[in-house]
Structure 1
C-alpha cells in the first residue's frame, strides 16, 4: 500500500498565498517567505555537512523549510538534511506544497514529488529528490 505524505514547507505560513512575481529559483542565500525569514546559509550555520545518502531516514514527517529549490529537513535538534531538488520544483520558491508518495515509508533520491499551489490547490509541477546531505550540529 502506498503511503501518501504531505509536507507543508513551513508550518507558520500555512495560510499564506504566493505573492509577487520574483525569480522562480532565488539564489541559495536569498530569503523567501517560506523559510522563517532566514537564508540557507543561516539555516545551516553551526552545522557540518556529512557524506550524502540516498534516502532520508523516515520515522515521522520532519519539519521542512524551502530555499528556492533546496529543502532543509529538520529531523532532530542536532540533525538536518539538505536536498537540492531537481528541475521542475521552481514552485518551492513561491511556497508551493510538496506531495510525495513512497511505498517504503521514506523518501529516496529519484522519488517523484508533485507540487500544488498553496491557494488554489492546483498542480504546478513535479520533480525528483536529489541526494540527501546530513548536517550535524558542530561541537
Structure 2
C-alpha cells in the first residue's frame, strides 16, 4: 500500500505529457496563426506601442495568443500573457473595462460558446497601432 500514492501520482501526471504528434500539431497551429497574422498585417506599418486604446466598434481577430482589434482605419495588436486557452477554440471573449478604453494588464476571459463555462483568463499586453501604408 505504501507504493500506491507515488504510482497513482505518476499515472495521473503521465496523461499531462504531450506526445510528439500533439507537439507537432501545436507547432503547426502556431505556424498557421503566425502566417495568417503576417498576411493580415501586410501593407500596414507599426507605430509606437500604447498602454491604452479605445476599441469601441472594433472587430477582433484572433491569432493564437495575439489579438488584433480593427476599427477600420487602424489595427491594434496586443499579445496576451497566455492562459486564454479558449482563444484557439473560438470561445467568446469577455473583457471588463471601467473606462471607454482597454489597457495593458486588463483581464481577458474566455467562455465556452456551448456550455457557457469559463475556459481561460489572460491579460492584455501593450497595444501596437498599425496604419495602412500610404495614409
What TM-score, normalized by structure 1, do the two folds share? 0.71
> Per the alignment, do residues 107 and 24 of structure 1 end up closer, same or farther by CA in structure 2, a change over 3 Å counting?
farther
Tell me which of 47, 50, 56 is aligned to 1:50: 47
SS at match of 1:99: strand
Q: Would you say 1:63 and 2:63 are equivalent positions?
A: no
| Structure 2 residues without counterparts, runs of 5 or longer | 1-21
Which portions of structure 1, spanning 4 or more consecutive aligned residues, are displaced by more than 6 angstroms? none
Question: Looking at both structures, which has the greater relative contact order when contacts are Cα pairs under 8 Å and sequence separation is at least 6?
Answer: 1
- CA distance in 2 between partners of 1:119 and 1:23 (Å): 23
CA distance in 2, matches of 1:126, 1:54: 19
Q: How many residue pairs are counted as aligned between the two chains?
A: 111
In structure 1, distance between residues paired with 2:61 and 2:109: 16
- Please tell me whether Structure 1 or Structure 2 has the larger radius of gyration of its CA atoms: 2
- Which structure is higher in helix share? 2
TM-score, normalised by the number of residues in structure 2? 0.73
Residues 30-88 of structure 1, C-alpha deviation per residue, up to 9 Å, x if partnerless?
15xxxxxx811111011001110001124x23101101011111012x31010111121
Q: CA RMSD in A?
A: 2.3
Give how far 1:26 is off. Answer: 3.4
